[in-house]
Amino acid sequence: MPELPEVETIARRIAPHLLTKKLQKIVVLHQKCVRGSTTLVESACVTKVLRRAKLLLIHFDNGNSLLIHLKMTGQVLYQDEKMRLGGGHPTADWIADLPSKHTRAILEFSGNSRVFFNDMRLFGWIKVVSKLQLQQELKVFAPDVISPEISSEYFFGKLQQTRRPIKIVVMDQSVAAGVGNIYANDALHLSKLHPARLANSLSRPESDAVLVALQEVIYLGIAHQGATIHSFRHIDGFAGTYQDITRVYGRDGKLCQTCRTKIKKIKLGGRGTYFCPTCQPSSKSRDTALEL
Ligand SMILES: [Zn+2]
């Protein structure tokens, strides 16, 4: 599932090509994937293309917006007469003729350019919203984890309020938005904390270390244009490279780059959880959620 760095990458790639263009029409190929009245944005011009949490936002000059959530298998692909760019779930559709059988909506812009929203599994969506609806939609998200609004005090306060494992808390979008499984695993390795440590057992310095580590791995992810984890290759220019430099994510059985201990994999909250037993020891048993 795309996380903050992957969606940020798509926004940065497509923004220069969409700004000031007029959205002429939204062609809906699968009703389930497009919500709201498309007429709210048709004939309006793009003023901004941004990311918030894991959402892609396209703002228009009439005050209305499009929200796009890629969920598990969504893709956003921009195409004009000269180029194609974008990102999301890596499949052959990245280089196939478009629309493909997974294209769920086509945004037709001026200048003969189009944005294809593809989604194999139909969990992703595009939502057309007014300014007021946009505020409502975004209210459920905490500030982005890389926003200055996520202060040391704020973060420690949130951890103090819960006995859930730290890894699950850092992925909670109402605590800090944008962190998913890849970056949560790596940030906890960087901060030398066991992923099952109970959030309220962290000291203030430990909480600070986790926050700094989360921001560091997220920025590193953005610098590497996200992670592209799939067997499908030969997709030059689209794939991110963070998967090649993960600290622990996806590296079970391999050696920790810090101490050469074998990285372990467990399940936590149903998600694959990777850690180094030496760098990230489980502390006193009362502070961890699992028997380890
Ligand atoms: Zn280690």
CATH code given to domain 152-287 = 1.10.8.50
Residue 171: what pLDDT? 96
How confident is residue 284, by pLDDT bands cut at 50, 70 and 90? low
| Exposed / middle / buried, residue 91 (Cβ in 10 Å: 0-12, 13-18, 19+) | middle
Full-model pTM: 0.91
Q: How far is the CA of 165 from the centre of ligand 1 (A)?
A: 20
Q: How far is the CA of 257 from the centre of ligand 1 (A)?
A: 7
Which of 45, 72, 58 is closest to 11 using CA atoms? 58
Looking at the annotation, which residues are catalytic?
Answer: 2-3, 54, 271
Q: How far is the CA of 164 from the centre of ligand 1 (A)?
A: 24
pLDDT at 41 over 80: yes
Q: How far is the CA of 205 from the centre of ligand 1 (A)?
A: 20
pLDDT, one tens digit per residue, over 196-228 is 999 999 999 999 999 999 999 999 999 998 888
Q: How far is the CA of 200 from the centre of ligand 1 (A)?
A: 24
Residue 292: what pLDDT? 45
Q: Which residues pair with 60 in a beta bridge?
A: 46
- List Cβ neighbours of 211 (8 Å cut-off, separation of 6 or more): 145, 150, 152, 155
Mean pLDDT, to the nearest integer, of 67-88?
93
Domain extent listing, the chain:
4-138, 152-287
Query: Which uninterrupted H or E stretch holds 51?
Result: strand 46-52
Residue 228: what pLDDT? 83
Q: How far is the CA of 251 from the centre of ligand 1 (A)?
A: 12
Mean pLDDT, to the nearest integer, of 180-193?
97
CATH code given to domain 4-138 = 3.20.190.10
